[in-house]
Amino acid sequence: MKIDVMIEMPRWTVVKYEIKNGRLIVDRILDQSVPHNYGFALGTEVADGDPLDVFVLDSPQLQSRSICSARIIGALKCIDNGVVDDKLIGSIAEKKYVGAVEEIIAYLETYKKGFKVIKYVGRAEAERIYREST
């Protein structure tokens, strides 16, 4: 399944951006760079009222507010300070993803206190998470 993703944080940036009401807002400066392009699935909303987050693998650094089409390959079931905060993992290219999931988990668990990755789930479960958010 392919989805449209709006990029908030380009790969390798240390600036945590959020898009709110069409504006690109600097939320904070991180101690480490994001290992892959990061944004949200257009047309989605999860329990906290935000769109569903997506990491986009196998792409060059994309510009904030750009939209790309990504194929869902999996998801990370996560908890952020006691609240469910799942992250989809998508890809533009057809490649193997050796090390990418572990890299994302390490990033998520070190950039924010109170954040915990519970487990990785495959494509079918990730697509279910996406469908429930639309």
pLDDT tens string for the chain (134 positions)? 999 999 999 999 999 999 988 899 999 999 999 999 999 999 999 988 899 999 999 878 999 999 999 999 999 999 998 899 999 999 987 666 767 899 999 999 888 888 999 999 999 999 999 999 99
Phi, psi (deg, nearest 5) at residue 48: -85, 5
Nearest CA to 33 among 86, 104, 114, 85?
A: 104
Q: Which residue segments constitute the domains of the chain, with CATH numbers given?
A: 2-133 (3.90.80.10)
Structure tokens at 129: 């998470």
Q: What is the pLDDT of residues 111-126, one digit of tens each?
A: 888 899 999 999 999 9
Structure tokens at 76: 């990370």
- Average pLDDT of the chain, as a whole number: 93
Q: Which residues pair with 91 in a beta bridge?
A: 57, 71
Please tell me what DSSP assigns to residue 2: E
Q: What is the pTM of this model?
A: 0.92
